[in-house]
Amino acid sequence: MTSRPLRLLFVALGATGLAACQDIGDTPATHVSTTAPIVVTAAPPPADVPSHDPQLRPGSRAAPPMLHPVALGPFETGNPTAESITGSITIEGSRIVGENGAEFVTERIAILRGGDEFLPGQRYADAMMIGTEHPVELRRVVAEKWPTRAPGNAICRDMKTGYLAITKVAEGEHDVVRVMGLRGQDMPAPSAQDVVVCASSSYYARR
């Protein structure tokens, strides 16, 4: 049997534990969050990113391909027609300047082939005596000065030159440049109606 003093000790301990449980139950629980609230904000766009609004910043277009001229530099006359029309010439990127004062300000239009037609049924190959695959540079004449020294005739005589067709061929040890003038309102093409062939001239590359 348990002695009386020991039973009294158990009763006292039980009462103390009950009181402690009651105190904890009566006290409201307080939950303290240690995690800070998360605030989501949208980051501003980088300053160097271009706008995609076509009204504000239109998209860039691909540049047209570069047309490389078939002949550049100084050339001596190769036939009487060249002597009369220009004399010796210098072919530049946008100009053709003659020794006798003739000058053509030009715009390069296209690189064609000898087999192409400048009129229905009429080919550069036949008019300029070249192969069908030989390159021909077509230039639009923007402005023209006629010869100022005799003998001098405009390539299309008293009519404005519309286009110049230029090609370069090898003849023996020489590079020969052939220039054919065209006039009319239409651009030379297989469907053109108003195109007339003017004079053709030949030039030798200077050595």
The pLDDT tens digits of the residues spanning 19-68 come to 444 444 444 444 444 454 544 444 554 444 444 444 444 444 444 456 78
pLDDT of residue 122: 96
Separation CA 134–CA 115 (nearest Å): 8
Residue 160, Cα to own-chain centre: how many angstroms? 32
Query: Quick one: tokens of 178?
Result: 């052939």
d(CA 6, CA 59): 97
Count of other CB atoms within 10 angstroms of residue 192: 17
pLDDT digits (tens, 9 = 90+) for 112-156: 999 999 999 999 999 999 999 999 999 999 999 999 987 678 999
